[in-house]
Amino acid sequence: MSSQAMDFDTLRQAMADNYEQPEGPARNARAEQLLVEAEKLNIPLAVIEALGHQLKVYNYSSEKDKMFVPFARLLRMWDERPEDFDEYEIHSLHWVFKWMSAGMLDQPHIPLASIEKWLGEMEHRYRLAGHSERAVRGAEFSVAAHLGDLERAERAYAAWLAADRDTMADCHACELHSQGWWRAERDADAEALELWTPVLEGEYTCAHEPHTVLASSLLPLLRLGRVDEARAHHLRGFRLVRAMESMRGAYADHVEFCALSGNEARALELLAERPAYFTDTGDPRSKLDFMAVVALLMGRLTSLGLGEQTVPGPAGQAWTAGELAVHARGEALSLAARFDARNGTSHVSERARARMDQPPLVDRLPLGVRSARTARTPVPAPPTSAVTRPAAEPDLSALLAEARRLSALRSPDAVEAWATVSRAAEGHELDVRDRAEMADHAAMGRGPEGIELFHRAAELYAEAGDPGEALAARARATYVHALSGATEEALTAVSEPYEKVLALFAGGGTGVSQTASVLVGRARILMHRLDEAGGAAQAGGAAQAGGALVTDAEEAARELLALAEPHVADDVAVASRAAEAQAMLGELAARSGDAEAAAELLSRAVQTFVAAGLPWFAVEYDSRLAGIALHRGDTEGAERAARAALDHGGMYLEPMGQAQLHLQLAEILGTTGQLRPAAEHALESAHWADEAGEAATLGAWARHQLGGFLLRQGRWAEAAEVLESALPDLTAEMHGDGAIVQTRWWLGDCLTELGEHREAAEHWLRAADIARHWPEQRDHAMLAHLAAEALGHAGLPAQADQAYARAGDLWRALGNVHGLVRSLRARAWAVARTDAGLDGARELMSTAVRECESAVEGASAVAGSPSDSLSDSPAGSPEDEDVRGRLVAELGHTCRQFGDLLARSVPDATDEAAARVAFEEALAHMTRAISVFGSLGEDALDARTGAELAAGWLEADLRRPAAACARARAVLSAYAGVEGETAEARRGEAENMLGLVEAGTER
């Protein structure tokens, strides 16, 4: 910083610039430097303003304890020389009294007597200044609530609400937050949320609202079971408080919410983002809140058996959850004890203990954002005492009976039941049949490692005198062999059991169930061979070899169906074989392009599975039906099938299956515009993908889709959080570069709506850099254009100019006149704010006009209309006329904007002669816009009258009242008898113009 002293205006600008910086020590240090600069000016008001600036930045930082010194100095200056304060600083001084009372409460070393004395001082000074007692009673309420003095708190609360609102009252948003907080403290969650509604809906806002209301609403919403709102408030609210150092208390609310909703991993991520919150001492009360929540989270992790997990904690050492639980609890209780010692109560310690000891409110609340999975490892139960230990070992015969029952029902639990039998059978002699079934089920689900076990089971079945089941076990082994990449070998190997079982069945040596098991194994291998061939065999043009593969598979499926179908009512296992055969035939029909037959056969398969009490086997085919229905344009059928898949899978679906099915349903619902349920299922998909360990693959895609659904509902902050969470995991190899571009595009849309224009531009530019390599360049052009708009909104006109130039070149190469002209116009507005100034802007607008004129001329030639008339022509097709009409409208808008640009570029200090020249030039362009719009008739009425009114104001500026009034009356005439919002607005502006111009003429 230069040693030369600032002047007062420079000082004020420096303070304004500093206030816009992020909260924290750097901003505070700059405020301290600026106070030194102010003192050099020898201007009391400069020092007063610099002290006020210091107060503000201290109050909104982690160094709140520094507020008292500058305030004491300000108060002394006021008492000694009140005439040095201007009206704004007088208001600010009295306003800060409220900060002081809150700040004293937050510092346990300040005696309670001093706080009570300060309340009296505040009341006295407010009365002298003529202010309402509303702010005083609000401060008294805060003191009483902190002390736990319920009677006094309720009395002060009532007096606060009864007092008149004046300029010293907190803003509506802050007052409603405090009022709702008190209702929640008094166990009236619904009342609290009702009070907060105007803040949550954006009716009342301020620098720190709805930030704190969103944080405070989280647990009330969970307690009321309104979990969807709680999730939304967390995603929306955390985004607001994340960068604000002063909001440690609200930040703690978000950590607490995660700890109590099954999102412990996300809570840990939040702690890692703010390491200074563990140690910052400037605001002891918010540190108490934070450490209490840390203790809650660490206790939760310890109860889940994760006490040895490494966690974020205070700098200087590595922490486990168990260690930090002890440390955080000790810190919280120590701080609480300091407050209680000051207050003479136990209220703060009781609240801290209650907060640390809360049980979870929700077992699992998916948030949609990615977080590391927290394994749920329950703490081992203490050993069962000798008194309560069962005297007898598990009944092996009962376990065998249960395992066989589940196998007969083809239950997914059968494999585990046989595993239980195997464990219980250790040290026992089992007969050969029991050992065969144990080996058979042990092989299932082991992949290639199970092949030998299947062969062992076959040997045991044969030894037990069941040759049919032995052949079935061998067939199962050959299918696993095929899945291991040896399809032809497997097909050769299955021939022997296939031929033997048919002969055995014909001679009555085995039953339908065993025979069907062999046939289904062979059919599966043939279907697998077809899959490996890539489905090359298609109806009406398949290669002969491919056709043979289809024929073989179809014959095998039909043979299986012919065997099993007559017995579906007799045997669950046989029914499942019949259903699988129907499904195979359905898949073959789909391969041939016969969607109708495929749907019919797959539907029969589903019905057979469900009728047999085997709905979990129908899931795959429900999902396939959904895809076929969607392909056929039957969205209702697709939704019905996708929902059936989830219903049929029920508790037996693995996490990955849940993720896939929820995502399929989400995409179907999104296609039909059912955005809210689509988002709900995408959310579930993301959660289950995370649980399956597929967060970076399917989970990222689900989050991508979820973000899109939220965006389409206008839930910008939630969508941004989800999309930002998805982006790091999206890769061109796994998800395609189109998904990355779309995610960044959507993020740009969200951030624009949230006012984060610079960040939006970054996402759009990065997406454009990917799209620039695509063969079709429209997306590249659009993204460059959007980035330019965002850069302009971010106050970066030079960068906006570069981006608009890039977009313009792309639009020109694409032959898109509308895009080119709009980029030129927007670029002109941006350039007007750079060194190129109005001359550069005028040249760009002139180029835009010429591009429009050339395009209109070309379109007029096609439509058969004289290019110089700009009038409608009966010649040409309707499509040509439409193209020409849109180009003419573009010319009108360009002329209108040219006029606006010139008029608005006249500085207030411009001399009258120069201003007149600029206004005349602007009016010429505006008049041409009116003429161009007029050529389009009633279709361009609103655009024409808008330009007419703009021209009228220019006539007034040029001191031509008659012309201005004539234009206003023309607008009134144009809207005679016309209803609608635009008509009302135009009439209102025209009447206002007439009134002002006529009044000026009379003077």
918-954 tens-digit pLDDT:
999 999 999 999 999 999 999 899 999 999 999 999 9
Residue 961 belongs to a domain: yes
Asked which of 326, 345, 365 is the last residue of a domain, the reply is: 365
861-873 pLDDT, tens digit each: 765 555 444 444 4
Residues 587 and 547 in one domain: yes
β-pair partners for 206: 209
Section 53-64 average pLDDT: 88
Position 90 pLDDT exceeds 70: yes
Position 140 pLDDT exceeds 70: yes
Residue 298 belongs to a domain: yes
Residues 528 and 543 in one domain: no
Determine contact, residues 287/281, Cβ cutoff 8 Å.
yes
For the chain, what is the mean pLDDT?
90
Determine contact, residues 49/15, Cβ cutoff 8 Å.
yes
Give the closest residue to 184 by CA, choosing from 194, 192, 176.
Answer: 192
Residue 495 belongs to a domain: yes
Position 372 pLDDT exceeds 70: no
Asked which of 320, 348, 365 is the last residue of a domain, the reply is: 365
Residue 277 belongs to a domain: yes
Residue with tokens 């001359």: 839
Specify the higher pLDDT residue, 544 or 504. 504
- pTM of the predicted model, to two decimals? 0.83
What range does the domain containing 462 cover? 431-532
Give the closest residue to 59 by CA, choosing from 239, 217, 244, 196.
Answer: 244
**Hey, is 54 helix, strand or coil?**
helix
pLDDT of residue 322: 96
Asked which of 632, 658, 673 is the last residue of a domain, the reply is: 632
pLDDT of residue 379: 36
pLDDT of residue 858: 84
Position 389 pLDDT exceeds 60: no
Residue 876 belongs to a domain: yes
Residues 838 and 929 in one domain: yes
Position 403 pLDDT exceeds 80: yes
Residues 492 and 573 in one domain: no
Position 539 pLDDT exceeds 70: no
Residue 290 belongs to a domain: yes
Q: Cα separation of 890 and 851, whole Å?
A: 10
Residues 951 and 849 in one domain: yes
Residues 838 and 975 in one domain: yes
Position 544 pLDDT exceeds 60: no
Determine contact, residues 480/471, Cβ cutoff 8 Å.
no
Residues 902 and 999 in one domain: yes
Q: Cα separation of 281 and 720, whole Å?
A: 33
Residue with tokens 């989400």: 666
Which residues are CB-contacts of 139 (< 8 A; sequence separation ≥ 6)? 97, 98, 101, 102, 119, 122
Q: Cα separation of 635 and 633, whole Å?
A: 6
Position 1001 pLDDT exceeds 60: yes
Provide the domain count of the chain: 4
What sign for the dihedral angle of Cα 730, 732, 734, 738?
A: positive
pLDDT of residue 909: 72
Position 750 pLDDT exceeds 80: yes
956-973 pLDDT, tens digit each: 999 999 999 999 999 999
289-315 pLDDT, tens digit each: 999 999 999 999 999 999 999 999 999
DSSP annotation string for 185-254: HTT-HHHHHHHHHHHHTTSS-BTTBTHHHHHHTHHHHHHTT-HHHHHHHHHHHHHHHTT-TT-HHHHHHH
pLDDT of residue 876: 57
pLDDT of residue 24: 86
Specify the higher pLDDT residue, 974 or 372. 974
Residues 523 and 613 in one domain: no
DSSP character for 310? E
Characterize 878-896 residue by residue with b for buried, 16 or more Cβ atoms within 10 angstroms of its Cβ, and e for exposed: eebbebbbebbbbbbbbbb
Position 321 pLDDT exceeds 80: yes
Determine contact, residues 231/365, Cβ cutoff 8 Å.
yes
Q: Cα separation of 327 and 314, whole Å?
A: 10
pLDDT of residue 541: 44
Compute φ and ψ for 715, nearest 5 degrees. -95, 70
Residues 544 and 515 in one domain: no
Residues 327 and 308 in one domain: yes
pLDDT of residue 415: 86
The helix or strand, by DSSP H or E, that contains position 125, with its residue range, turns out to be: helix 112-128
Instruction: Place 407 in a pLDDT band, splitting at 50, 70 and 90.
Output: confident
pLDDT of residue 61: 85
220-243 pLDDT, tens digit each: 999 999 999 999 999 999 999 998
First to last CA, the chain: 54
Q: How many residues are recorded in the chain? A: 1003
Position 392 pLDDT exceeds 70: no
pLDDT of residue 538: 45
Position 542 pLDDT exceeds 70: no
Q: Cα separation of 810 and 784, whole Å?
A: 9
Residue 36 belongs to a domain: no
What sign for the dihedral angle of Cα 159, 165, 167, 171?
A: positive
pLDDT of residue 611: 95
β-pair partners for 209: 206
Residue type, 272: A
pLDDT of residue 865: 54
195-221 pLDDT, tens digit each: 999 999 999 999 899 999 999 999 999
Q: Cα separation of 52 and 64, whole Å?
A: 14
Residues 523 and 544 in one domain: no
Residue 585 belongs to a domain: yes
Residues 961 and 838 in one domain: yes
Long-range contacts of 91-97 (CB under 8 A, 24+ apart): 91/167, 92/52, 93/52, 94/125, 94/126, 94/129, 94/131, 94/168, 95/168, 96/52, 96/55, 96/71, 97/122, 97/125, 97/126, 97/135, 97/139
